[in-house]
Amino acid sequence: MDLSVIIPLYNEVESLPELHRWISKVMEANGFSYEIILIDDGSNDGSWQWIERTSAEDSCVKGVRFRRNYGKSAALHTGFEEAKGDVVITMDADLQDSPDEIPGLFAMVKERGFDLVSGWKKKRYDPLSKTLPSKLYNATASYVTGIKLHDFNCGLKAYKLEVVKSIEVYGEMHRYIPYMAKQAGFSNIGELVVQHQARKYGVTKFGLSRFIFGYLDLMSISFISRFGKRPMHLFGTLGSLMFLFGFIAIASLGINKLINLSNGILIERITQNPYFYLALTLMILGTQLFLAGFLGELISRTSTERNQYLIDKRVNL
């Protein structure tokens, strides 16, 4: 099979018939063998009923329904598990992603050898209140991850099948699939300018809170990828430095006290000096951080995934 098209959706019954006809037209025009996997994320507007009717008429249409709304990451993860095509395309169900881009994305993966290709909606039909924070967010994500993409959150992406089978999308991490792919060893990541269309039906399901949560998720995935299996490297280092600075500060206060006493100079007690308590706080915090790293290391050592690595090829084994 050439293509698996994964479409997460939540209350998009109005756009589904047009989207289905559009995708089918593109596939037939290019002679692709394909499947359309629709992930209903707990819709209550009749979306699932449409999927059931259409799948009975068109064997290329497949569907999965969640009992409640779990979010886009859960929908994509489920779609990735079900996908069988050589190239996997993800797109939104609101008709803002154009199926006409599918052949170009397919060619970049299949013919040019990219592991992942992300769409870039260079010209957007969104208000400034949405596009401006998006540009700032994408610039930050590009800097932190080291991946030069203009639109991390674009729903229109293409992957080699082995990429989606090698990553686990959870929480709200769908925004950072390119970074997750890079951490899994798939670093040949490209970008394709795609057409962005104004929303035709309904309203957006994402508010401004996604930008706040997006930054928090970025920090989270960056930390986990770097220190998830070696927490002692971070917490142990920070804890040791803080304890060392605190100890040096207290030792300096003590030495200064002894020098003054030996010279017959009476000064205030060490415990009356505010620097003593700052130094003591540093030592306590440093000890706690070190213990946090130690406990994290114990948890990491007992994890069933501690020695799970992605093997690319084998020979004579």
Query: Residues in the chain, how many?
Result: 317
218, burial (CB in 10 Å: exposed 0-12, middle 13-18, buried 19+): buried
Least confident of 36-45, 207-216, 307-316: 307-316
| Predicted local confidence at residue 161, as pLDDT | 96
For the chain, what are the domain ranges? 3-227, 231-302
Give per-residue pLDDT as tens, 208-232: 556 566 667 777 777 766 776 678 8
| Predicted local confidence at residue 313, as pLDDT | 45
Give per-residue pLDDT as tens, 96-149: 899 999 999 999 999 999 999 999 988 776 666 666 777 887 888 888 888 888
Q: pLDDT at residue 7 above 70?
A: yes
| Predicted local confidence at residue 55, as pLDDT | 93
Q: Which residue has the higher pLDDT, 31 or 310?
A: 31
Q: Which residue has the higher pLDDT, 121 or 198?
A: 121
Give the pair of three-digit tokens for residue 126: 């969104």
Give the pair of three-digit tokens for residue 298: 């114990």
| Predicted local confidence at residue 267, as pLDDT | 76
**Mean pLDDT (whole number) for 249-265:** 86
- Output the furthest CA–CA distance in the chain (Å, rounded): 99
What type of residue sits at position 184?
A
Q: pLDDT at residue 52 above 50?
A: yes
Residue 267 falls in which region: left (phi positive, over 0), alpha (psi -120 to 50) or beta = beta
CB 63 within 8 A of CB 12: no
CB 5 within 8 A of CB 35: yes
Alpha-carbon distance of 60 to 99, in angstroms, equals 16
pLDDT band at 206 (very low <50, low <70, confident <90, very high): low
Task: Please give the angle made by the CA atoms of 9, 11 and 17, to the nearest 5 degrees.
Answer: 75
Share of the chain above pLDDT 90, in %: 49
**Mean pLDDT (whole number) for 190-204:** 77
What type of residue sits at position 35?
E
CATH architecture entry for 3-227: Alpha-Beta Complex (3.90)
DSSP structural state of residue 246: H
pLDDT band at 309 (very low <50, low <70, confident <90, very high): very low
Task: Please give the angle made by the CA atoms of 214, 235 and 180, to the nearest 5 degrees.
Answer: 35
Give per-residue pLDDT as tens, 276-303: 899 999 999 999 999 988 888 777 666 5
Give per-residue pLDDT as tens, 73-90: 899 999 999 999 999 999
Q: pLDDT at residue 307 above 50?
A: no
The structure's pTM equals: 0.73
Q: pLDDT at residue 317 above 60?
A: no
| Predicted local confidence at residue 217, as pLDDT | 72
